[in-house]
Amino acid sequence: MDTLKFRKIGNSVGATFPQEYLKHLGVESGDEVFITKEADGRIVLSPYDPNFAATIEAYQKVKKRYRNTLKTLADR
């Protein structure tokens, strides 16, 4: 287990992550990450937008029903 130290950066607070964790997340300096609070209180950092998964799930539910409409839109 590693620890992070929070430091004041201007009017904000930031943390420096070890390189191995940045590599594991697939991010580098300047990249955006998403932070979510889980129901059990855990905080999760991810380079992926959690709302995108919900969007894809919604698409999966309607793609067969609106197949012709989606094809027409794609051809434009």
For the stretch 10-20, pLDDT in tens is 999 999 899 99
Task: Please report which confidence band the pLDDT of residue 64 belongs to, taking 50, 70 and 90 as the band edges.
Answer: confident
Residue range 36-60, pLDDT digits in tens: 999 999 999 999 887 887 888 888 8
DSSP-based helix, strand, coil % in the chain, nearest 5: 40, 20, 40
What's the mean pLDDT when you consider all of the chain? 89
- Is the pTM higher than 0.85? The answer reads no
